[in-house]
Structure 1
Amino acid sequence: MYQYIVAVTEPAFFILTALVGGPRHGYGIVGEVAELSRGRVQLKIGTLYGVLDRLVGDGLVELDREEAERGRLRRYYRLTGAGRHELSAEAERQAANSRIATDRLRMFQPAKAETA
C-alpha cells in the first residue's frame, strides 16, 4: 500500500489535476480548476498560492519558468513525478471510498413509507 506524502485537500487535488495537462500560471490554474470541477471549486488567489507553496515544499509541484507579460511576472508551475504519483494514489483512494459508500447505501435502503 502506498504511503501518502501529504494529506491531499480538495483544492490540492484539483490543482494537481489541472497541472497534469502541462505547466500553468496561477490564473490558468484557477480557470482550469473551475472547468474541471464544473464550477464547483472556485479558488481564491490566496488559497491557490498557499496550496501551491505547500505542494512545492512537499515536492509535488515545481516552478517551471517565469515570464514577464505586460510588466507582470508570471510563474508557471508543473507537476513532478512525485506529484503525479500522489495524485494517482489519491484518485484511487477517492474511488475506493466512493465504492464503499455506494455499496453501503445500497445495502441499507430506507424502508419505504407505507401509504394509508
Structure 2
Amino acid sequence: MEDRIQKIYFPMTETAFYILLSLQTPRYGYLIMQYVEEMTHGRIQLGAGTLYGSLSKMQKDGLIDIIKIENKRKIYQTTNLGNQLLLMEKSRITELYKNLERIED
C-alpha cells in the first residue's frame, strides 16, 4: 500500500469509513446516503456535496471503482485497496475498544 494513501486515510474519518463500509455492496450515491443514515440511526446524514466529493477523491485514490452506470447513476464498489484500508481501520477501532474496556465503571 502506498504511504501517501495510508497517510491520507488512516486513521479514517467517519465519512470515509461509512462510505467504504457501505460499498461492500455495489451502490449509487443516494443509496449510500440512505444506508449510512440507517446504519448510524440518523446520527450521520451525508450531504450530496460531501458524498460526491468523497466518492470522487476515493475513486482517484483507487479505493473505489465505478462498476457500472445504470440510468445515469454511477454504481460504486470498494477495490482491494479500499478493503485493505477498511480492515486496517477495523483493527485500529478494535484496539481502541479493548483498551477502553480497561476503564472501570
What TM-score bracket applies, with the shorter chain setting the length? 0.7 to 0.9
Bigger helix fraction: 2
- Quote the Cα distance in structure 1 between the aligned partners of 2:61 and 2:101: 33
TM-score by length of 2: 0.85
CA RMSD of aligned residues (A): 1.6
Given candidates 49, 61, 77, the residue that maps to 1:46 is 49
Contact 1:26-1:48 at 8 Å conserved across structures:
yes
Q: Which runs of 5+ in 1 are unaligned?
A: 110-116
1:102 shift after superposition:
3.0
TM-score by length of 1: 0.77
Q: Extract structure 1 runs of 4+ deviating beyond 4 A.
A: none
The alignment covers a number of residue pairs equal to 99
Bigger radius of gyration? 1
Matched residue SS, 2:83: helix
Q: Which runs of 5+ in 2 are unaligned?
A: none
1:95 shift after superposition:
1.5
- Quote the Cα distance in structure 2 between the aligned partners of 1:99 and 1:40: 24
Contact 1:60-1:80 at 8 Å conserved across structures:
yes
